[in-house]
Structure 1
Amino acid sequence: MISVIIGKAPYGVREKARKLGKKEQKSEKDEAVNDFQRYPEKQVYHLEDTYTDLLDLAADICTINGRVSFWYPVILENYSEENLPRHPALQLIYNCEQGLTRKSSRRLLTYRKIREPEIGETAKIPLSGVSLYRNALFSS
C-alpha cells in the first residue's frame, strides 16, 4: 500500500492536457487500419478528470491516514472552498494559496484518507471552472 501521493497536473496553460489511449473510431475502415497501430495515441483529458482520477486513485490505494497532495489552479473571482474537489473517503486537511497573477492563484491541497471507499464512490468537483482556467487566464 502507498501512504503518500504527490502530483502536479498540467493546467493547460502551455499545452492542453492529453492522455494516452485509443481515439474513437469513425468507421469500420478506420477500425481495420487501427488494428495494426503500434504507437499510443493522445486523447483529450479534461482537467477536472485529472483531479477526480487522482483522488479516486488515492482513495483506492492509499493506506488509512495516507495523504495525497497536488496543486489546484483557481481563478480568484470564482474561488470558493466549497468548489474544491471532494471524495467521500478523503478529508481536506490543508489548503494553501500561492498567488500567480491578479486573476489567478494555485492551491496546494492535501487530503487525508479517513476510510476505505464504498463501491461506486467517486470524486466530484461541485462547481468547476478548472477546464476554463487557460481561457480565463488569457482573457482581459
Structure 2
Amino acid sequence: MTTSTRPWKIPESVLVVIHTPALDVLLIRRADADDFWQSVTGSKDVADEPLALTAAREVAEETGFACGEGSPLAPRLRDWQLQNIYEIYPRWRARYAPGVTHNTEHLFGLCLPERIDPVLNPREHTAWQWLPYRDAADACFSPSNAEAILLLPQFRA
C-alpha cells in the first residue's frame, strides 16, 4: 500500500541524522515550511514496515543516498535504539486519523565517509546545508531533532 492510497499517516516515524566522522550534519529545508530545517524524517508506509527499511527508504527519497540492504552505505545506517514521543504540530495533524495527537519517532544515524551533495526531492525539500553538529542543532526547528543531533558524539562510528 502506498502513501497515496492510505487514508491516514501512521504515527510512527524515523529521524535519520546524516553526518560525517567529523560530526558535520546534513540539514534539509522543508518545501512546505521555508524556515524549517531538519534531518531526514518520515513515517512508516505500513504498520509492519521494519524501522530500518523506513529509515533507508526515507533517506533515499529525501537525499538520493542509497543505504538500504545490499548497498555500500547499508552498514553505515545505525539504529540508535532511542525514541521520542512528541505532539504532532497542529499544521500537520489533519494527515493523521481523528484523535491522533502524538507520534513515536525512532532515531537513526547515517555516517557518510565525507560531505556528499544530496539530490533533493523538490516536492519535499528546497535546500540543503552541511553544518558542524552544534550549529546544525541550533538551526533545527524541531526540539527532538536538535536533541538527537546533540547526541551524535555518543554514536560516532
Greater Rg by CA: 1
Q: Same fold (TM over 0.5)?
A: no
Q: Which has the higher contact order (CA 8 A, sep 6+)?
A: 2
TM-score range, shorter chain: under 0.3
Query: TM-score under structure 2 normalisation?
Result: 0.23
